[in-house]
Structures are given as structure tokens and as C-alpha cells.
A = this chain, B = another copy of it.
């Protein structure tokens, strides 16, 4: 009763605890979306797993969709290229490093794709998300190309798509992406997709 403004159900929370609840919901949702997928995750699940009641879920989010979209947006903003600095180590090692990042992304993307099938707005976001990741990869490929060594007869877009595809799926298969030997092999494969081998 602190205000006369009814302020709609999804007002930005102004209180500390409220923010915590919101974060807890986001975190639970991310985890559940990743593991069970969008459609198999219920609003009640998310709320329960965050330790609140369903009603509270709808205090912070308009609907189930919104949580996912927000998670993705958040991810896109956060996850901009943490471009490594200093002289690159050898390419394989750089790629290996890349592969161990971003474990969460794949699952989320998959969830958005699921949602996109039902909701055109999500389809746009999914496309946007993919595009961003794509652009990040493309950027790096272009940098690498500028330094020479990249196959000159390749369309960098297609190349970025290929790398993205592999990285994406890798992150879905959690057993794979935790096996360093496998990861190293993949790094080598990807390196060869990109770089002309040394004489």
C-alpha cells in the first residue's frame, strides 16, 4: 500500500528483496530451460525452484515467454566478445579456449528456437541471437583473415556458420564439452577449417 499507482503486474521492482526474487526466478528459469527445454518447463516449476509461488512469478514477468526472451537478451548484452588480448597463442589453443566458454548459450538458444516455433516475436529474437553470435565469430575470422593464414577461397560467412554450428552443438552435449581431449581434437579440426596449414 505504499503507492496509489497500481503500476501493472510487471513493474520493475524497486526493493532489494524483490530484485533478489527476480534474479532467483531468472536463474531457475535459465537452468530449467537449458535442461528440460522451454515446453517442458512450467511456470510453476520455475517458481518452485526459485522458492516462491506461481503468483510471484507473474508479478515479475508478463508470461513464460518473457523470461526466456529476457534471458537471451541479457545473454546477448553480457556475452559480447571478450576478445583476448596480447599476441594470440597458436590458433588451436585460442580455439580450444573459445570452446570452453559459454556453456550456457547453447541450451538457451535451443529454448528460444523452440519458442520461436510458436511465437514469431521469438523467432525474430532467435534470429537476432544467432546473428549476434555469428557476427562475433565473423569478426574474429575477419581479424584472423587480415593477419593472413586464413584460406583465401572461403566465404567467411559460411565459415562462421560452420564454426558456430559445431560450437553450438558441442555445448549441448555436456559430456563432450567437458572432455579436454575431445575438445582439443575439435579445436584442431576447426583450426584446419579456417587456416591454411603451415608449409
Contacts and interface: CB of A to CB of B under 8 A. Distances in A.
Interface string A158-196: 110110011011000000100000100110110011001
A112 to B, nearest CB: 13
Given A37-B117, A48-B7, A165-B169, A193 B189 contact: yes
A2 interface: yes
B193 A48 contact: no
Q: What band does the interface of chain A fall in when counting residues whose beta carbon is under 8 Å from B?
A: 35 or more
A166 B162 contact: yes
A39 B42 contact: no
Contacts of A154: 185, 188-189
A6 interface: yes
B49 A3 contact: yes
A40 interface: yes
Interface of A: 1-3, 5-7, 35-37, 39-40, 42, 44-45, 48-49, 51, 114, 117-118, 151, 153-155, 158-159, 161-162, 165-166, 168-169, 176, 182, 185-186, 188-189, 192-193, 196-197
Closest 8 CB pairs of A and B: A7-B44, A158-B185, A165-B169, A1-B51, A39-B39, A6-B48, A155-B185, A189-B193
